[in-house]
Structure 1
Amino acid sequence: MQITDVKTFLVEGVKYNWTLIKIETDAGIHGWGEATNWPGSPLIEAACQHVGRYIIGQDARRIDFLWTKLYRDMHWMGQAGPLLSAISAVDIALWDIKGKALGAPVYELLGGVYRQRIQLYANYWFIDGGHRAEDYARQAREVVAQGFTALKFDPFAHINYGYGNDLNDNNGLSEEQKRLAISLVAAVGEAVGPDVAMAIETHAFLNGPTAVEMAHRLAALKLNLMWYEEPALPETPEAIADIRARIPIPVCVGERLHSRFMAKRILDLHAADVLMPDITRCGGISELRKIATMAEAYNIPIAPHNPNGPFSSIASAHVMATIPNFFRQEFMLKDVPWRDECLSHPLPIENGYFILPDRPGLGFDVDESVLARHPGLRTPPTDRTFYV
């Protein structure tokens, strides 16, 4: 079954562009993949096109071989960023093709299921109003009303730290900024109650002392804190491990992990309580599955990062169904209103769970005419309001 064409689609998303690919074969079977990342989605699309030309004529059934060949042959470009996102998309699409060819869902090809429902936690639920405690509380209650028992948010996003003049402060916070962040977390905790878990995002934009201080101040609220996310840059796992040893909240790392080779260092240094690889960045279905198996050996649960497009959600769910150490999967609560319109079937989200389809491959096809009506931006946004 030879690959005959690879098409790319840059599509308008609710936060940033989706980058999708479609791989076609001489058997008349096609597969869909995703490489969504930001803010350089045109670069990612170009990487997908480059990698796509490289695999024309190859056997679509040789998934692991093609992954390894692409990863090794492209090593002079650096095995991360747009290149690995492109490899991720190819890998996802090839699994979709193999499942369709064999008449089986991808999760069956990965060893069968531990679970038919994938528990989700809500992200991107706060988009209305100002950065005020009452706005956060109101929208958090709406999340719980939809059946979610966990949510994530960045209480420091109102500061717009790490961009512009705040760089002069060495990623520290004023006391006023610290109190505001604490008040937002307290308001959400009171609104959702003790049975709903909260993940606190930092995006690695706090300096070390501030990250440690804020973790202790958050812990003093005595709330149901699921984890403290990326308290330092993933390129500095020693710093993450040091912070983890000094704070009373579990640490989650991994949204910027590039392949199992980067994940290994996080695991070896015991820098995380929870690992959150992103299927569109770490290497696709194949690599997410390998990272999960590695993490199992360290007794570390997996909670895949997923603020992306629909095939990221779908492919991640297929993998999470097949591993013993699954925790929760991220889900974009607010999305473009035409998301389900572009899919052959609506995303099966029920009461905070993704319900696995029983259709071959990933179980979804795409209406390309809908994608064509919603082209993605090809220039970066001029503000950071989408970053929450």
Structure 2
Amino acid sequence: MKIEKVDVWLVEGIKYNWTLLRITTDNGLTGVGEATNWPGSPLVYHAAKHLGERIIGLDPSRIDYIWSKLYRDLNWLGPTGVMMCAMSGIDMALLDLKAKSLGVPCYELLGGAFRKKILLYANYWFIKGGHNPEDYVWQAKEVVAQGFTGLKFDPFAHTNYLFGDDLSSNLTLTSAQEDLAYDIVRAVRETVGPDVQLAIETHAMLSMPTALRMAERLAPLNMMWYEEPVGPESANTLKYFRERTNVPICVGERHYSRWGFRPVLEQQLVDYIMPDITRCGGPSELKRIATMAETYNIQVAPHNPNGPLSTLASAHVCASIPNFFRQEFMFTDVPWRDTVISRPLNIKDGYYILDDTPGLGVDLVDEVMEAHPGITEMKPGFYV
């Protein structure tokens, strides 16, 4: 059996454009994957097409061999970024293809299931109103009413992608912005009660003094975690923050592969990690990262503001690891999210419910993807 072709699509999503792909073998077997990242989705799209050409003729069952070959061949381009995203999608599709060929779900190839109900937390639930406590409150009620017991949001007005991107502040907040951020979090906490967990996102867009000050101020509101208080560039910077606060910390959406997570884990700088399956190296690498994290008693909560295949593949990895915490889920998305795949995502009462359907359990629906294309041309502008 050999890889005969790799097809790639860029499909419009509500937040990101999804890079979706299908690998086809010479005997007609197929596997599907996702390589979504933000921003610059045309770059990822073209990288996935390029890597697809590089694996033509290879045996698709040699998943780890292909991963290692691509990583070594492309290392001169850097071990992070668009090439790793493309590798992630290919790895996902290869795992799906092999599992389908064997008639087993992907989690069986990852070691078997610890669980088949995957606890989710909701993101992107706050987009219908403005950046004020009142609009966050009524939307939080809607999310909890649908069974979700974890919510994530960015209460910092000047850094939130929806409410402005003013870079003149140099990652600081005015007193009014600090008060507003606190008021939003407090209002949500008072609305949902003590049993719903709240993750506070910063997008690594706060200066160190601001991040420290707001962490201390928000701590009494009982955060699930304080996300990305600093950027991924230096573990020493994260260590500086860690030593000056007692809030739970989660990082990982901008860390690529096991090597990117290594210093964070070795120095035990966080309480949770959130690898993104479409960025970190795919399901194979996410499983390896989770195993590394287990040795430091750190839990895994995959980042997932992506398309439906990312949600599915992340759930399969989460099923297979002992140190799973929660998986991110896009509460609001485009109406065609469930129609680009051959059956809808199985979400019930804040959980993803897995079954024993072979592979990831779905195929891509070409006509729906083609009806909602993302922009693939490389031209000036800011792409999602």
TM range (shorter): over 0.9
Q: Separation in 2 of the partners of 1:383 and 1:352?
A: 33
Kindly tell me: are residues 103 and 350 of structure 1, through their superposed partners in 2, closer, same or farther at Cα, counting changes over 3 Å? same
Match of 2:99 in 1: 99
Q: For 2:239, give the aligned amino acid.
A: A
How do 1:166-177 residues align onto structure 2 when only pairs under 5 Å count? 166-177=166-177
After superposition, the CA RMSD in angstroms is: 1.9
How do 1:238-387 residues align onto structure 2 when only pairs under 5 Å count? 238-378=236-376
Q: For 2:331, give the aligned amino acid.
A: L
Give aligned-pair identity as a percent: 59
Match of 2:123 in 1: 123
Kindly tell me: are residues 383 and 86 of structure 1, through their superposed partners in 2, closer, same or farther at Cα, counting changes over 3 Å? closer
Question: What is the CA distance between 1:332 and its match in structure 2?
Answer: 0.2
Match of 1:29 in 2: 29
Q: Separation in 1 of the partners of 2:301 and 2:120?
A: 9
Question: What is the CA distance between 1:292 and its match in structure 2?
Answer: 0.1
Question: What is the CA distance between 1:308 and its match in structure 2?
Answer: 0.2
Q: Separation in 1 of the partners of 2:159 and 2:305?
A: 21
* TM-score, normalization by structure 1: 0.95
Q: Which runs of 5+ in 2 are unaligned?
A: none
More off after superposition, 362-371 vs 294-303:
362-371
Instruction: Answer whether contact 2:129 2:135 (CA < 8 A) is retained.
Output: yes
Instruction: Answer whether contact 1:131 1:158 (CA < 8 A) is retained.
Output: no
Q: Separation in 2 of the partners of 1:343 and 1:33?
A: 11
Instruction: Answer whether contact 1:196 1:224 (CA < 8 A) is retained.
Output: no
Q: For 1:187, give the aligned amino acid.
A: A
Instruction: Answer whether contact 1:238 1:269 (CA < 8 A) is retained.
Output: no
Q: Separation in 2 of the partners of 1:123 and 1:138?
A: 15
* TM-score, normalization by structure 2: 0.96
Secondary structure (helix, strand or coil) at the match of 2:221 reads coil
Q: Separation in 2 of the partners of 1:51 and 1:366?
A: 20
More off after superposition, 375-384 vs 316-325:
375-384
Q: Which runs of 5+ in 1 are unaligned?
A: none
User: Could you give the per-residue CA deviations for residues 176-220 of structure 1, whole angstroms, max 9, x where no partner exists?
Assistant: 11001101101111111111000000010101111000000001x
Question: What is the CA distance between 1:383 and its match in structure 2?
Answer: 8.2
Q: Separation in 1 of the partners of 2:18 and 2:355?
A: 22
Secondary structure (helix, strand or coil) at the match of 2:82 reads helix
1:182 is the counterpart of 2:206: no
Instruction: Answer whether contact 2:12 2:373 (CA < 8 A) is retained.
Output: yes
Match of 1:10 in 2: 10
Q: For 1:33, give the aligned amino acid.
A: G
Instruction: Answer whether contact 2:3 2:59 (CA < 8 A) is retained.
Output: yes
Q: Separation in 1 of the partners of 2:164 and 2:193?
A: 36
Q: Separation in 2 of the partners of 1:356 and 1:115?
A: 9
Match of 1:88 in 2: 88
Match of 1:147 in 2: 147
Number of residues of Structure 1 aligned to a counterpart in Structure 2: 383
Instruction: Answer whether contact 1:238 1:271 (CA < 8 A) is retained.
Output: no
Q: For 1:47, give the aligned amino acid.
A: A
